[in-house]
Amino acid sequence: MNRESVRNQPHPSPHRERVGLWSSWFALLAAPHAWALQLLINSALTGYACYPQDVPLDAPIWTGVRTTMAIVEAAAIVLSLAGAWIAWRNWRRTREEKPGSGQRLMEAGDGRSRFMAMSGMMVSVLFGVAIAFSWIQSALLPGCGR
């Protein structure tokens, strides 16, 4: 293949200028990072509140543990929804990037911007569900106890 034939090839992501690099990565990574932070922060909070020394407690050492956990989980849900919304917006801007449906997108790999937007929507929904299940679990289970 010579240089001239390479120059005449269309770019694999022709609508890349319609979405920013930061918005593409935010849409893809916001929900997983929100889930990880929510898991780390709430695990540390409940671990210290219920087990500050050598012996586990029957009740947390402070009364605002559940409220603090709910705030952290609400922030994680908001971050996940923000990632999903930006991914959807990016999808709307790039969905005509290459011909074909989502199945064609998965097979061919053309249209990087469209692929990242679709991946961001899927990841945001899946991690949003994980965050919601964690929220339900923390609301239903007792705070401390042996």
Distances (CA, A) of 123 to 49, 114, 118: 32, 14, 9
Tell me the H-state helices in 51-111.
Answer: 65-94, 102-108
pLDDT digits (tens, 9 = 90+) for 105-126: 555 555 677 888 889 999 999 9
Task: Name the nearest CA neighbour of 79 among 20, 17, 36.
Answer: 36
Q: What is the mean pLDDT of residues 47-69?
A: 82
Split at pLDDT 50, 70, 90, the class of 62 is confident
Domain boundaries, the chain: 28-140
Distance, in Å, from the CA atom of 50 to the CA atom of 143, rounded to the nearest integer, reads 8
| The overall pTM is greater than 0.75 | yes
- Who wins on pLDDT, 106 or 133? 133
Single-letter code of the amino acid located at 103: Q
Distance, in Å, from the CA atom of 15 to the CA atom of 5, rounded to the nearest integer, reads 21
Distance, in Å, from the CA atom of 96 to the CA atom of 14, rounded to the nearest integer, reads 10
3-state secondary structure of 129: helix
- Highest average pLDDT, of 49-53, 72-76, 141-145, comes from 72-76
Query: What does the pLDDT read at residue 141?
Result: 75
Report whether pLDDT(49) > 70: yes
The tokens for 94 are 């790039």
- Length of the chain, in residues: 146
Report whether pLDDT(100) > 90: no
pLDDT digits (tens, 9 = 90+) for 2-42: 666 556 655 555 555 567 888 889 999 999 999 999 999 99
Compute the C-alpha angle 96/97/99, nearest 5°. 70
The average confidence (pLDDT) of the chain is 81
